[in-house]
Amino acid sequence: MRGRWLLATCVALALGVWASVGAHGSRGLVTPGVSHVWRTVDGTVVGFEDLPYFRLIHSVFQLRGDTGGEKAYLSMSWRERRFATKRAATCGGLRYLGRYVVDSRGDAGEGWFGLDDRFGTMHLTITRRLSVFKTAGLVGPPLCVQTWGRWSGETGVFGGYEGTFVFNDDGTLTLR
């Protein structure tokens, strides 16, 4: 009887440890002690290249974390087709009808995110970027832009962690 109890206890402990490692492992989780939501304080387009079939756009942003107001910087470069399709799209929580949409999927670009107040950097891979324009000529700033992708920690507090992100039209970067 005592052997069964001991075996049951060991199995329960092993499952508990295994579940704990799965829940607290570094893969796919936002790093502890770092804000998960970042809001844009300032941002600008620093480069714009018109190529035959797509545009290459480079931007830099300064962000503040929701937890403690920590400073961070975000640099992104993305590709978008030079031609839009007139169709409906949902961007930033709003539904746009009859607008010109550029939906870049797959290898849409990359970026870099780094903390200002302490050591920590991550690489961003943009997997989708949706832009909604008022006119077919893609002139002027888009009505809405939303970016999705994956991040992987490189150094410091982000090292060994990875997850997904969404950069919303309102300038909010959310790490998951």
Amino acid at position 33, single letter: G
pLDDT tens digits, 54-80? 889 999 999 999 888 899 999 999 988
> Architecture of 31-175 per CATH?
Beta Barrel (2.40)
Distances (CA, A) of 24 to 28, 33, 162: 10, 13, 13
pLDDT tens digits, 109-160? 999 999 988 889 999 999 999 999 988 877 778 899 999 999 999 998 888 8
What are the sequence ranges of the domains in the chain?
A: 1-25, 31-175
SS3 state of residue 86: strand
Q: What pTM did the predictor assign?
A: 0.77
